[in-house]
Amino acid sequence: MKPSGRKVCFMTGASGKLGSEIALSIAGQGYTVFFTWHSSEQRALDLLEKIRWISPESMMQRCDISKTADIATAFAAFRKQFERLDLLMASASNFFSTPLPDVSEEQWDSLVDTNLKGTFFTMQEAVKIMQQQESGRIITMSDISAGLVWSDFAPYTVSKAGIQHLTRIFARKYAPRILVNSIAPGTISEYHENTPGPAEELTEKIPLRRLGDPLDIVRTIIFLLENDYITGQVINVDGGRLLR
Ligand SMILES: NC(=O)c1ccc[n+]([C@@H]2O[C@H](COP(=O)([O-])OP(=O)(O)OC[C@H]3O[C@@H](n4cnc5c(N)ncnc54)[C@H](OP(=O)(O)O)[C@@H]3O)[C@@H](O)[C@H]2O)c1
């Protein structure tokens, strides 16, 4: 650990819309955050400036998590700076529609390699460090669409379902030292343009009658960070959307 004594988090996808709010909240929980970005350099720079107000040793690194070599490079840079890893927050994700039957190999690879393969190899690097120190937490970001049948989003939803299963596999394998859980957001209000259908139509399908707020996700992360007896779970933060 760095001399400041703060816990250390490695986070992917911190330059994302929800991701940047998650990164800030983790810093606010007393973590130094080493985060990765891919194409949004300015968003990453703006985030780093904000994070350093509360967590001055935080750092950022470019990384394409669809490439295992990039993941290895990012973890090598991380290890140079930090002696331990308390939390992996795996949030990087690619999202676009791919209506059947015209999904190309390139689209499939882009979605599945980023979301599923990238999350797997990031988790694999993280547990190497966590096993040595005999402790750690991993939180993956999935999506309630993993449990819905969206034919226009097959590679995306399959990748998120895969992340949920990876979460269970890692939780079983690395218990009792490493806790592994997943958060599956429903539609987060600020970002509903990413999801098919107008906001009013979506709200009608949600028993709690509103879209999600980034704070709903942040509160769930804090809940998981404070709880030592939950592992292998997927927590749907969706206002009851999956209730049938
Ligand atoms: N926001 C929602 O309503 C919602 C709903 C359900 C689930 N989720 C999940 O919650 C998480 C956070 O969402 P968000 O709103 O922050 O998503 P977002 O705004 O789409 O951001 C995606 C993040 O992933 C990174 N990324 C994309 N491709 C990458 C690659 N090849 N290598 C490395 N990083 C890559 C992006 O980096 P660059 O921008 O730097 O390229 C960005 O930081 C995601 O896992 C998402 O699937 C979100």
Cα 202 to middle of ligand 1, angstroms: 21
Burial of 198 (0-12, 13-18, 19+ CB in 10 A): exposed
pLDDT for residue 95: 96
- The residues that bridge with 7 in the sheet, in sequence order, are 31
Q: What is the mean pLDDT of each run of 10 residues along the chain (244 residues)?
A: 78 96 98 98 98 97 98 98 97 97 97 98 98 98 96 97 98 98 91 61 91 96 98 98 89
Q: Is residue 242 in some structural domain?
A: no
Q: Any idea what the CATH number is for the domain that residue 150 is in?
A: 3.40.50.720
For the chain, give the longest Cα–Cα distance: 55
Model's pTM, two decimal places? Answer: 0.96
Cα 3 to middle of ligand 1, angstroms: 31
Q: Is the Cβ atom of 40 under 6 angstroms away from ligand 1?
A: yes
- Rounding to the nearest 10 degrees, give the CA dihedral for residues 177, 179, 180, 181: 170
pLDDT for residue 196: 56
Cα 71 to middle of ligand 1, angstroms: 16
pLDDT for residue 244: 72
Q: Is the Cβ atom of 91 under 6 angstroms away from ligand 1?
A: yes
Cα 94 to middle of ligand 1, angstroms: 6
How far apart (Å, rounded) are the C-alpha atoms in residues 37 and 20?
10
Nearest to 166 by CA among 120, 117, 110: 120
- In this structure, the residue with its CA closest to atom 30 of ligand 1 is 64
Q: Is residue 35 in some structural domain?
A: yes
Q: Is residue 180 in some structural domain?
A: yes
Q: Is the Cβ atom of 192 under 6 angstroms away from ligand 1?
A: no
pLDDT for residue 201: 80
- Based on the structure, what is the number of domains in the chain? 1
- In this structure, the residue with its CA closest to atom 32 of ligand 1 is 64
- In this structure, the residue with its CA closest to atom 36 of ligand 1 is 13
- Residue of 11, 17, 18 to test ligand 1 pocket, by largest number of atoms within 8 Å of CB: 18
Nearest to 35 by CA among 94, 81, 95: 81
Q: Is residue 244 in some structural domain?
A: no
Q: Which residues contact 89 (CB under 8 A, 6 or more apart)?
A: 9, 10, 11, 12, 14, 22, 23, 26, 139, 141, 221
Q: Is residue 161 in some structural domain?
A: yes
Handedness of CA 140, 144, 147, 150 (dihedral sign): negative
Task: State which residues form the domain around 32.
Answer: 7-237
Q: Is residue 224 in some structural domain?
A: yes
pLDDT for residue 202: 83
Q: Is residue 243 in some structural domain?
A: no
- Residue of 38, 111, 120, 190 to test ligand 1 pocket, by largest number of atoms within 8 Å of CB: 38
Q: Is residue 2 in some structural domain?
A: no
pLDDT for residue 189: 79
Cα 200 to middle of ligand 1, angstroms: 24
Which residue numbers are catalytic?
A: 156
